[in-house]
Amino acid sequence: MQSVSLVWFRQDLRLHDNPALAEAIDTGRVLPVYILDDTNPGDWKIGSASRWWLHHSLQQLNQTLANKLWVYKGDPRQIIEQLISEHSIENVFWNRCYEPWQVQRDKKIKTELEYLGISVRSFNSALLWEPWTNLKHDDTPYKVFTPFYKNAMQNLFIETPTETKIAKLKAIPCSQTNDKIEQLALMPSLNWYEGIASNWSPGERGAQERLDNFIQRGIENYKVGRDFPALNSVSRLSPHLHYGEISPRQTLHSIAKATQGMQIEANVAHFQRELAWREFSYSLLYYFPFITHRNLNQKFDQFPWVENEALLRLWREGKTGFPIIDAGMRELWHTGYMHNRVRMIVASFLVKNLCIPWQLGAKWFWECLLDADLANNSASWQWVAGSGADASPYFRIFNPVIQSHKFDPEGDYIRSYVPELCSCPSKFKFMIPDQPRLLRLRNTELLSEKTIRCQLWI
């Protein structure tokens, strides 16, 4: 009989360009397994919006595997050891994850399985350059993005996507009931996700459709258009990339092939640079795992932050009275997403205008974002706060009014999410109709109104 290999799906919910699955197919029969691990993550259990996405992504993966995906919830170490015993498994394959808690867990599992005589192999399916492959000459990690990117592009080769011989897959039939994914209880108890469902198609097929749409309608104007939230110039691939429904290798190779001869090299290069920021964030998380909750720059440890629940609630609910801030926060709540330019604006407002710790903003994003990614979320919030690697100086503020004028000049983005301003002429959509409420809170609890005005209008 052919040997049996367990493939442990994690953040690689796809069949194509899946090195672990490809290796298992070449080895013999395959037991494809997904395990929802709420045991090991600690503070970083999957947020509500991401759980909605995961539910639907698993549904599609199970469908493409002809209902042969085995689904569990619990401690992976115990579950995998039980499956090894029940199915006489000889090999265990998985694609690597880089979150600190996953690295620690995976090392323990690999050690224990190898002690039992099981062959264990892991692969890279999520990154163009793994953290240990792009270091400075002294083998220390980069803390500045530009040299990180230049070294990666000059010295490292982007691998071609792995060929997965899907037609040769011999998956072991699953004996679980048809509601196996529902039993994970990933769907939120409150039906607040209707807006999310109407905007997204989780899964490998949805990822390919999103990429095709970007190639047809976005990449040609990406370098300039990506800063304008009302335009369809960004890829919106981030949740698909996070859950591994498509790989960065597939993405870049598809774009290069589709745009050949179009003379839009500057746009393609800028998109590749944005993907590289994701890689930089993973490198930072790998080498400085504390950045999820502590400042990379320790000078900020003594910063006099203010913890004000009333102000934080207004920011979360999109009721600050600053139109572009409120539009961004409402887009986040209703769609599970926020345009990147607006993410920087709302983050700057929370940290530098309201003086609220970046960790509280990062936690809210973690709960509400479909693309909640520990590396990107942590590194990006610290960048805006000024406490991270290659960070924006603390005194640099994304003025919400100037940003509105510059990147939403007709108020189209604001109009989409702040309907109470729809009847206003465009030139008034950047004003602050509800400013007194915010000022009263600050005036009574923190600073004088004069000081606040200086902060808000720098």
Query: Known catalytic residue: 94?
Result: no
* Catalytic site includes residue 200: no
Q: Is 277 known to be catalytic?
A: yes
Tell me which of 8, 70, 129, 277 is the catalytic residue: 277
- Residue with tokens 């500045």, as numbered in its chain: 144
Q: Which residues contact 402 (CB under 8 A, 6 or more apart)?
A: none
Distance CA 325, CA 418 (A): 10
Q: Is 88 left (phi over 0), alpha (psi -120 to 50) or beta?
A: left
Tell me if residue 381 is catalytic.
Answer: yes
Say how many residues make up the chain: 458
Beta bridge partners of 6: 31, 92
Q: Which of 40, 81, 213, 305 is catalytic?
A: 305
H-helix or E-strand containing 36?
strand 29-36
Among 358, 364, 366, 383, the active-site one is 358
Active-site residue, from 315, 333, 381, 383: 381
**Other residues' Cβ atoms within 10 Å of the Cβ of residue 277:** 18
User: What dihedral do alpha carbons 4, 10, 15, 16 form, nearest 10°?
Assistant: -120
From the list 90, 130, 274, 367, the catalytic residue is: 274
Among 103, 97, 100, CA closest to 126: 97
Farthest CA pair distance, the chain:
80
Closest CA to 196 of 39, 348, 331, 339: 331
Q: Are 346 and 375 in contact (CB under 8 A)?
A: no
- Is 305 catalytic? The answer is yes
Distance (Å, rounded) from C-alpha 15 to C-alpha 21?
Answer: 7
Per annotation, catalytic residue among 40, 340, 399, 443: 340
Which residues carry out catalysis? 274, 277, 305, 340, 358, 381
